[in-house]
Amino acid sequence: MAKKLWEKNIDVNPEIERFTVGRDRELDLLLARYDILGSIAHSTMLESIGMLTTEEMTELHDELRNIYSTVEEGTFIIEEGVEDVHSQVELILTRKLGDTGKKIHSGRSRNDQVLVDLKLFTRNELKGVCEGVKSLFDALIEQSDWHRDVLMPGYTHLQVAMPSSFGLWFGAYAESLADDMLFLQAAYKMCNRNPLGSAAGYGSSFPLNRTMTTELLGFDSMNYNVVYAQMGRGKCEKNVAYALASVAGTLAKLAFDACMFNSQNFGFVKLPAECTTGSSIMPHKKNPDVFELLRAKCNRLQALPNDILLIMNNLPVGYFRDLQIIKELFLPAFESINDCLQMATYIIRRIEVNKEIFDDSRYDAMFSVEEVNRLAAEGMPFRDAYKKVGLDIEAGTFTPNKAIRHTHEGSIGNLCNKEITALMENIYNNIEFGKAEEAERALLKR
């Protein structure tokens, strides 16, 4: 049996095959379960328009669900000589069911198959990322609440500036994640539209029922215009990558702070020994490698939208094989971001903060603005108060009053963590994951 879907009577050149298949046989394994779900929906629809008999559809469904089980067990492979997951699934169906297997490709193309696979894959992965972001958010808010009264220096230009607090520091990253969640929500919505039925990118002369496959697969709607549906290849990945990059930006910055504040020269936070690594030569070392790797991985993730953009940017309308390469960058990104989110959450829950930072007189000048404000509140014009405190500092006669009082919204004494949590939950709880899961479960039920 020919292993290429398009093989006619000319042998395939092995070098050309190697180059064109690329890493598909390995990467497409990540799409296998979604390819099967798409095929169950497609064959159900084919039966409804009389392109398959009910018996043929049932046979196909049984076999597709068997293949799904092999994916779950981890025994599904894409054989040598088979190009991609779409070919492998059709090959298995045809080996098992003969002509019935050969009928499933009516009214579709691998172009819309891979499109639908990617949408289903991404939809599912985004759910995991959102959960990971929410867990880290919860850990940050918890730390912020616990340490609401522990002061730390705030910097501008990396010069000691004004009093800040651990409540503010942890809470800032929580609020940053709430904004990142907005991107994830938009990415989820954009990706939750059905491209199936666009076939090679121009539809089909069969009377396909795209509304039906949209409902069966639990999509919010379809990508209506078949040409646009195909244009979504690359665009969807790029926009999702922007959302992942937004999360990665928050994580990379947090990681940098943590590395810096953990250094002996700052000594603001301490990682528990189990969260550090040692040196082969310096016996005293407890290095923050986890945060360093997190920073590097997240910096790389921030390049992802650009990497994708550079591949697809100058393509005109219609499918091109260029798009295949995007999978190499895009599919592994989820494992990477999830890993980073998980490690960040683990460490943030365990990080210890220094409650005695301000016992050190090097931070005294940081209370200058507090003193200026105190004098101004007593009636001295701000500019005069500013000058007086400045001269006191120069003369070495300034004594800081460390009992500070910041009361406005979002400041040391009024973190607004409840409001920040409401902001996050309002976004997170409005991403509707349930519909997709229910639809997928229904397709798999025998």
User: Least distance in Å: CB of 56 to ligand ARG?
Assistant: 25
Question: Would you count residue 331 as binding ligand ARG (CB under 6 A)?
Answer: no
Number of residues that bind ligand ARG (CB under 6 A): 10
* Chain residues 100-119 in contact with ligand ARG, contact rule CB under 6 A: 110-111, 114
Question: Would you count residue 88 as binding ligand ARG (CB under 6 A)?
Answer: no
User: Least distance in Å: CB of 28 to ligand ARG?
Assistant: 7
* 3-state SS track over 244-257: HHHHHHHHHHHHHH
**Which lies closer to ligand ARG via its Cβ, residue 24 or residue 371?**
24
The CA angle 284-290-295, to the nearest 5 degrees, is 125
- Show the tokens assigned to 167: 């409540």
Question: Would you count residue 84 as binding ligand ARG (CB under 6 A)?
Answer: yes
**Which lies closer to ligand ARG via its Cβ, residue 210 or residue 327?**
327
Measured CA to CA, the distance from residue 402 to residue 400 in angstroms comes to 6
The values of phi and psi at residue 170, to 5°, are -65, -45
Question: Would you count residue 319 as binding ligand ARG (CB under 6 A)?
Answer: yes
User: Least distance in Å: CB of 15 to ligand ARG?
Assistant: 17
Question: Would you count residue 421 as binding ligand ARG (CB under 6 A)?
Answer: no
User: Least distance in Å: CB of 81 to ligand ARG?
Assistant: 15
| Residues ≥6 apart with Cβ < 8 Å to 239 | 186, 187, 190, 191
Question: Would you count residue 257 as binding ligand ARG (CB under 6 A)?
Answer: no
Beta bridge partners of 50: none
User: Least distance in Å: CB of 34 to ligand ARG?
Assistant: 13
142 sits in the region (left: phi over 0; alpha: psi -120 to 50; else beta) called: alpha
Measured CA to CA, the distance from residue 346 to residue 272 in angstroms comes to 11
DSSP category for residue 12:
P
User: Least distance in Å: CB of 99 to ligand ARG?
Assistant: 24
Question: Would you count residue 321 as binding ligand ARG (CB under 6 A)?
Answer: yes
Interface pick for ligand ARG out of 223, 302, 324, 368 (rule CB under 6 A): 324
**Which lies closer to ligand ARG via its Cβ, residue 122 or residue 324?**
324
Measured CA to CA, the distance from residue 59 to residue 362 in angstroms comes to 77
Q: Which of 281, 303, 292, 273 is nearest to 343 (CA)?
A: 292
User: Least distance in Å: CB of 110 to ligand ARG?
Assistant: 4
User: Least distance in Å: CB of 302 to ligand ARG?
Assistant: 25
What b-and-e string marks burial along 413-437, b requiring 16 or more CB atoms within 10 Å of the CB?
eebebeebbebbeebbeebebeebe
Measured CA to CA, the distance from residue 196 to residue 232 in angstroms comes to 12
Is the Cβ–Cβ distance between 93 and 60 less than 8 Å?
yes
**Which lies closer to ligand ARG via its Cβ, residue 268 or residue 319?**
319
Measured CA to CA, the distance from residue 234 to residue 322 in angstroms comes to 10
**Which lies closer to ligand ARG via its Cβ, residue 84 or residue 237?**
84
* Chain residues 215-254 in contact with ligand ARG, contact rule CB under 6 A: none
Beta bridge partners of 411: 414
C-beta nearest to ligand ARG: residue: 324
The values of phi and psi at residue 82, to 5°, are -95, 135
Interface pick for ligand ARG out of 32, 226, 236, 323 (rule CB under 6 A): 323
- Show the tokens assigned to 166: 């651990």
* Chain residues 11-40 in contact with ligand ARG, contact rule CB under 6 A: 24
Residues that bind ligand ARG (CB under 6 A): 24, 84, 110-111, 114, 319, 321, 323-324, 327
